Chain A
């Protein structure tokens, strides 16, 4: 292949002077143009997207959807639709074997809260109420439009702060205050590290800000969908746009109450995903259609559905409050966050755990306090998108850093350099920072932006000056019982009492003490999920779902110097 320069000038700037001693010069691919392994299919139009599979006698499924944000379904009358040309089957929620699911239940995370097809109530505009299977797409649309629903419109709430006020309409009965229950204990994800209140009392400046991010539609050019068809021996093949094939397989098996051995999933060719093709709705719908009709069935969103019904990146609202010293040191940071989950949980509860683990951003701040709420509203349920759980709060943090710099009259790059984490620093989620490179990035940004750094700032390095006192856990962490909830099973994430399975598999119980702050390669890292594993003294964020196994102990590096750049396994420079 020809050596082609990067598009648009020098878009990638390799700064090999940084961390040169940690990196062998064995970059065989990086920095050189390469061909995708699937590109021949793409340029010949032969890459097999789910909708490119042909089936004789393919039927089409379309849904009648709720025109209301919140409503009770009094009666569904589909008698006229049943008699319309081409109609093969009307499908309601009663046809779904197990018509209640929450996506992360496969990880023992969360309470089943969402029907595949609504039966008695709808909680967002566009929620599916009835599905029609017909010979053509147009016949399915016409019949769906002929179904009459007797609605009782209910009060709705579309704003997170309205939703958490007393007396707001409850979106889901199992979360009467419109807040997910974390660890079975609190109505928010709590992070306590040090004592932010004392920091505010000691600070030269206390700087507050409010930041908001709208929902964002992933908008893939290929709309979400699946085609399912009966195969031999009671199996069903399913071609799908999913980004999460085995996740969709597990969800379909659960919802349809079928062993997964009867489901043959084919995917992997995705016409743009960006995180929005993980909700596992189309596969169970299409397979259900194939089961009910004995024919191949396609369930595919049109563009309007993709935009209205397709789950976006959820809206977020953040309050950030910083305790700042005159020299630019941030000594305390407090967050109150509201993550708009929409009408159902899907992945939002987990996104917040991830987001809270990320706090207070890439800065070493000795006192951090966060209460982050997963809030239910009557908006389209939210789901994953690039940087899931992190993007909204990062926007808030960085916008706030600029505000702090502005208040101090300090260059924003300098403020970041003064607070940037360094290798060996203790982070608020009680792990040591490693492989930091923020200082170096800021130095390059300053250079490119023509900002002259003082010799002191220009000499900073991520590998120098971290650890030591900065590696210590706070001497005192202020804790509280705010937001305590009852009626959920402890040790788990919002499991109701009476859950049949023991949520803690043998050997997986959280450690009795806080996880050790240091990371040692000679043994597996201590799981940091705690439930109340810290004896009620601390609640650390940033933990993995409880039932997932601890990461494997890292293997020895393949060669010296490979550490920083072998990050996929989570094993990097210590």
Chain B
């Protein structure tokens, strides 16, 4: 099986790793690089658990060929917290917006992309932004409330 080097930026740090032929970005990030934040839920682009940002735009890593991230910026939920938890993460914690936590990394990335593009989204825009992410246990309302807390400046207030 042919191996191919890929150089990219992961959560702000330069990375280089080998990808196998046809490997998807989800498998590459998890097994090749060791970033376990993106999750496998369906492998078919249906659940959003594998959502990562490519140059700031949400992508389903299970449907993205790993070699296409060459030279690009990849962000995952692993990079959201620096020395401290980010306001979005803080809001998820306060709002009980994660129960089992499995869809959470994907939800966080969808919300991160939204807030970067539109810092003050309304409820409909929040719902639209996470409409590709399935949550099976938390329920969407706490997640929407957490994102709106950030949008409306209620976090850390």
On whether the two chains bind one another, the answer is yes
Interface residues, chain A, with chain B CB atoms under 8 Å away: 1-2, 4, 7-8, 33-36, 38-47, 49, 51-52, 54, 58, 85, 136, 138, 219-223, 269-274, 302-303
* B86-135 interface with A by 8 A CB criterion: 89, 92-96, 98-105, 108, 134-135
Given contacts A8-B141, A221-B39, A222-B41, contact A47 B93 (CB under 8 A): no
- Taking a contact as CB atoms closer than 8 A, the residue among B44, B80, B103 that contacts A44 in the complex is B80
Given contacts A1-B94, A7-B142, A46-B78, contact A41 B101 (CB under 8 A): yes
Q: Is B95's CB under 8 angstroms from A221's CB?
A: no
Q: Is A4's CB under 8 angstroms from B95's CB?
A: yes
Q: Is A221's CB under 8 angstroms from B43's CB?
A: no
The 26 listed contacts between A and B (C-beta, < 8 Å) are A7-B142, A38-B101, A42-B104, A43-B89, A43-B101, A44-B77, A44-B81, A45-B36, A45-B76, A45-B78, A46-B36, A51-B39, A51-B40, A54-B34, A54-B36, A136-B20, A220-B136, A221-B39, A221-B103, A222-B40, A222-B100, A271-B101, A272-B102, A272-B136, A273-B100, A303-B44
Given contacts A222-B41, A303-B43, contact A43 B145 (CB under 8 A): no
What distance in Å separates the Cβ of B136 from its nearest Cβ neighbour in chain A? Answer: 5
Collect the chain B residues with CB atoms within 8 Å of residue A45's CB. 36-38, 76-78, 80, 104-105, 108
A241's nearest neighbour on chain B, judged by CB, is B102
Q: Is A33's CB under 8 angstroms from B136's CB?
A: no
What distance in Å separates the Cβ of B32 from its nearest Cβ neighbour in chain A? Answer: 11
In the complex, B153 has a CB within 8 A of chain A: no
Collect the chain B residues with CB atoms within 8 Å of residue A219's CB. 136
Collect the chain A residues with CB atoms within 8 Å of residue B95's CB. 4, 7, 33
Q: How many A-B residue pairs have CB under 8 A?
A: 124
In the complex, B49 has a CB within 8 A of chain A: yes
Q: Is B92's CB under 8 angstroms from A39's CB?
A: yes
A5's nearest neighbour on chain B, judged by CB, is B145
Report the 6 A-B pairs with minimum CB-CB distance, sorted nearest first.
Answer: A45-B37, A42-B101, A271-B102, A45-B77, A42-B98, A303-B42
In the complex, B4 has a CB within 8 A of chain A: no
* CA gap between A272 and B100 in the complex, in Å: 6
Collect the chain B residues with CB atoms within 8 Å of residue A35's CB. 93-94, 96
Count how many chain B residues have C-beta atoms less than 8 Å from C-beta atoms of the other chain: 47
Collect the chain B residues with CB atoms within 8 Å of residue A223's CB. 40-41
What distance in Å separates the Cβ of A372 from its nearest Cβ neighbour in chain B? Answer: 30
- Taking a contact as CB atoms closer than 8 A, the residue among A33, A41, A43, A49 that contacts B39 in the complex is A49
Q: Is B93's CB under 8 angstroms from A40's CB?
A: yes
- Taking a contact as CB atoms closer than 8 A, the residue among B46, B136, B145 that contacts A7 in the complex is B145
Q: Is A43's CB under 8 angstroms from B108's CB?
A: yes
Collect the chain B residues with CB atoms within 8 Å of residue A85's CB. 1
Q: Is B104's CB under 8 angstroms from A43's CB?
A: yes
What distance in Å separates the Cβ of A142 from its nearest Cβ neighbour in chain B? Answer: 12
In the complex, B150 has a CB within 8 A of chain A: no
In the complex, B137 has a CB within 8 A of chain A: yes
- Taking a contact as CB atoms closer than 8 A, the residue among B92, B100, B141 that contacts A271 in the complex is B100
What distance in Å separates the Cβ of A565 from its nearest Cβ neighbour in chain B? Answer: 22
In the complex, B147 has a CB within 8 A of chain A: no
B88's nearest neighbour on chain A, judged by CB, is A43
Q: Is A271's CB under 8 angstroms from B39's CB?
A: yes
